[in-house]
Each structure stands twice: as structure tokens, then as C-alpha cells.
């Protein structure tokens, strides 16, 4: 079972945060994988436009994108796919919690742009999450003409930021 959990904003008070932490701990005990999304990181995505409606829509778009990306990796429709057993093993190696983010770019500098977006993402705490990651799943989608060198550049640069013992 893969679960997606969202933490409350800090302004939602201590009681709600405490209940969320208990719920997250329970999910970690019973799920094969938990994708955890701290709402506080939304502030970094909105460029100062901290409108509540925009924040909720941003969180929903992110969660939909996350679940869709994971589903597409697991359903195996691409050239490379992810087996649920591999996902489960990687998540267990990573203490049962995952972070996910996605980026996109086009053109001759696409690989560099994607890496830059990922490393600057507040959802990955500006790269800090990657530096502590015990495992990585890097999914890359592209058209028929996607150069192998682009895939290599993205994987090398993101993998180079991850923890030295990351799988």
C-alpha cells in the first residue's frame, strides 16, 4: 500500500499538528510507502502570493501530479518501469517515508533546467532533502527523440547530490 499524507500548516495550531503526527506514525507502521508532503513548503512555491485558495489548489495539483507520476512508473507503460517490490524495498531502506517532486523543461538545455528546478524546489527544501536521501527514484518522460545524454545528465546531477550511500 502506498499512502499520501499532508501535514497541516503551522497556523493550524498544535492540536491539529499533533494529531497529524500520530496519523503519520500510524501510516508508517502499516503502509509499504508513505509519500509525505509538508504544507509549509507551499509558501516557497507561491512567490509571495500566499492566498489560501491558491495554496489549496497548489497542494491539490501537486498531490495529483505525485500520485499520477507514481502510478505511471508502477504501471510500466514506459521503456523502463518500476516494480512494486522495488519501490517497497527502496522505501523500507529509506525509513518508510518518501518525498516527491516533478519538473519539466524543453530545448537544448532541458537537462540543466530540470536539475536546477529540482535543486531549487522548496518541496525538496532546496536540495536538502536530496542530500539526506537514502534512495532515489528518478522518472524521466520524453518523446521518441529523447537523447540518452539528457537522461544521463539528469541522473548524474541529481544522484550526485544524494546521500553517498543512496540506492
Strand partners, 5: 36
Do 126 and 119 touch, CB atoms closer than 8 A?
yes
> 10 Å Cβ neighbour count for 162?
19
Q: How far, in Å, CA of 60 to CA of 103, rounded?
A: 16
The model's pTM is: 0.69
Dihedral angle sign, alpha carbons of residues 134, 85, 69, 112: positive
Q: Which three cell numbers stand for residue 112?
A: 540543466
d(CA 121, CA 30): 29
Report yes or no: 2 and 70 within 8 Å, Cβ to Cβ: yes
Q: What does the pLDDT look like over 26-68, one tens digit per residue?
A: 988 888 878 787 887 777 766 666 677 877 787 788 778 778 8
- Average model confidence (pLDDT) for the chain? 81
Query: In the structure grid, which three cell numbers stand for residue 24, read together?
Result: 503519520
> Which pLDDT tens digit goes with each residue over 136-161?
888 787 777 888 898 899 989 988 88
Amino acid at each position: 500500500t502506498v499512502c499520501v499524507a499532508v501535514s497541516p500548516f503551522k497556523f493550524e495550531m498544535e492540536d491539529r499538528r499533533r494529531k497529524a503526527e500520530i496519523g503519520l506514525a500510524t501510516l508508517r507502521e502499516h503502509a509499504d510507502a508513505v509519500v509525505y508532503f509538508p504544507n509549509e513548503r507551499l509558501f516557497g512555491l507561491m512567490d509571495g502570493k500566499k492566498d489560501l485558495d491558491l495554496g489549496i489548489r497548489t497542494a491539490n495539483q501537486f498531490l495529483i501530479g505525485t500520485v499520477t507520476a507514481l502510478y505511471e512508473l508502477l504501471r510500466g507503460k514506459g521503456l523502463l518501469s518500476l516494480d512494486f517490490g522495488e519501490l517497497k524495498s527502496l522505501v523500507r531502506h529509506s525509513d518508510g517515508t518518501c518525498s516527491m517532486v516533478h519538473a519539466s523543461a524543453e530545448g537544448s538545455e532541458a537537462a540543466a533546467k530540470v536539475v536546477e528546478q529540482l535543486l531549487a524546489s522548496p518541496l525538496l527544501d532546496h536540495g536538502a532533502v536530496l542530500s539526506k536521501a537514502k534512495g532515489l527514484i528518478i522518472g524521466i518522460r520524453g518523446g521518441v527523440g529523447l537523447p540518452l545524454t539528457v537522461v544521463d545528465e539528469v541522473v548524474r546531477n541529481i544522484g550526485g547530490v544524494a546521500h553517498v550511500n543512496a540506492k
